[in-house]
Chains A and B, each alone.
Chain A
Amino acid sequence: MKKILMPVVMVAVLAIIPYVGVEFLKLDYLFGVVIPYTATALFIAGFLYRIADWLIRPVPFRIPTTAGQEKSLDWIKRNRFESPYHAWEAVARVLSEVLLFRSLFRNTRAELHKDASLAYASDKWLWLGGLAFHWSLLVIVLRHTRFFFVMVPGFADFLDHADSFFDVTLPAFYISDALALGAITFLTARRFFDAKVRMISLPTDYFPLFLIGGIVLAGILMRYVVRLNIMPVKDHMLQLMHFGFDPPGQIGTLFYVHLFLISVLLVYFPLSKLMHMGAIFLSPTRNLCNNSREKRHVNPWNSDIRFRTYSEYEDEFREKMKKAGLPVEKQ
């Protein structure tokens, strides 16, 4: 219970800080300019540091996973994408993981039945929930480009149009808002109600879920319930994009809650499991070709071993071997 309550309290306190700061202490400048800049700088530096740190680690050996038949003899049918041989096949495997969550699609669930028999079955809910969550977050982030650029890029226009396709309510209801909220609720509830997952869940699993949930909730409230004047928001975002340091205009407090929680997320990002965003591209079981039957991979930091071959041995002892009547290969 404590491991769930602690993150809840932390996110609640984090949401109250900017509210008190802006509403009562008038610290617009701190929460609108100083903290976002600092958080973004820390995010970029931390992210690059973590990725660089992983990139310079040597990965000497292939790590074949047993998901597909490796390329060997011509008459053995191989699985091109589950066990790639060429680089482009490995790229396809990484992309199928990043874009479609291939590994989660394999997820199975073990159940103990009443007659004490253990049954395994395919379980696609985690895959579906994860896919809905990540894709809707991506769409939401891309949609936000309309706040950051004077000329909004075409894809953002298209996404905006497709996302508000149902055209109900005013401002138009976004499908991705409902999907993100529904999916994060499901993913959190799964951790509460599935005993096995509850056992292995840690505060570091709950905290980002609640934090992102808080950000989404603040955003949804700003759009549909507590409406804010959007003009000063865009003014301020544009000037942040141009590295300006002017104080923000008159913006509602909820905006600062939203922005501060995002700043917290940015700072927390490189320190946490959220780094899977960059790390997924570096996972050795996905991005290495399984060609260890074709190529010899030598560990680069092995010390040189002095081998003595038979021909060298024979060279040294040939005369003695001949005298002893032993057969030699070279006369």
Chain B
Amino acid sequence: MRIKRNILFIAIPALLVFAVIGFLLQSGNAVETPGAPPPPVAVDSTKCIAQTEYMRSNHMKVLNEWRHSSVREGNRVYTAHNGSRFQKSLNTCLGCHSNKLFCFNCHMYANVKPKCWNCHLSPMETP
């Protein structure tokens, strides 16, 4: 009986704390849902967005940031260090890197399987 009461003493404040934290986080995120998506900005997709060496080890970081800022903040334009602007889209990458195996060569070799193609259309599936 005593143990049960102790658990309640811990559990109820803990639940309250979680509820308050959750409320604060969510209320901060209450962004007005945008109506129509903004028209695509005229972007330059003919150049690389960063050095090859940097992209080899950090492409997942860039893609993750793109996903976050475009999906959650609606910011679909990426400005590279040299000032050129890019549409934040996998198509920007795959437009130049049009080899169907561009992703798969290395990812198969290193056996790294991110879940990009759970939602996006994989280059292997496009005609």
Contacts and interface: CB of A to CB of B under 8 A. Distances in A.
Interface string A233-269: 0100000000000000000100000000000000000
B61 A170 contact: yes
A314 interface: no
A189 B98 CA distance: 53
B112 A231 contact: no
Nearest to B62: A170
B96 to A, nearest CB: 20
A132 B71 CA distance: 37
A227 interface: yes
A160 B115 CA distance: 13
Interface string B72-114: 0000000000000000000000000000000000100111111
A231 B108 CA distance: 11
B4 interface: no
Interface in B18-51: none
Given A171-B112, A172-B114, A228 B64 contact: no
Interface stretch (B5-13, B52-60, B119-127): B52-60
A234 B64 contact: no
Interface string A133-159: 000000000000011000010001100
Contacts of A234: 109-110
A16 interface: no
Nearest to B107: A230
B17 interface: no
Given A167-B115, A170-B63, A229 B57 contact: yes
Nearest to A169: B64
Interface residues of A, number: 18
A152 to B, nearest CB: 5
Nearest to B65: A170
A146 B53 contact: no
Given A227-B57, A229-B56, A171 B114 contact: yes
Contacts of B58: 227
B111 A146 contact: yes
Contact of B111 (A152, A172, A229): A152
Contact of A157 (B56, B111, B114): B111
A273 to B, nearest CB: 34
Q: Which 4 A-B pairs have the closest CB atoms?
A: A170-B64, A146-B111, A229-B56, A229-B57
Interface of B: 53, 56-58, 60-61, 63-64, 106, 109-115
13 contacts: A152-B111, A160-B113, A170-B61, A170-B63, A171-B112, A171-B114, A227-B57, A227-B61, A228-B57, A229-B56, A229-B57, A230-B112, A234-B110
Given A171-B112, A230-B57, A231-B56, 7 more contacts: A156-B111, A170-B60, A170-B64, A172-B114, A227-B57, A230-B106, A231-B106
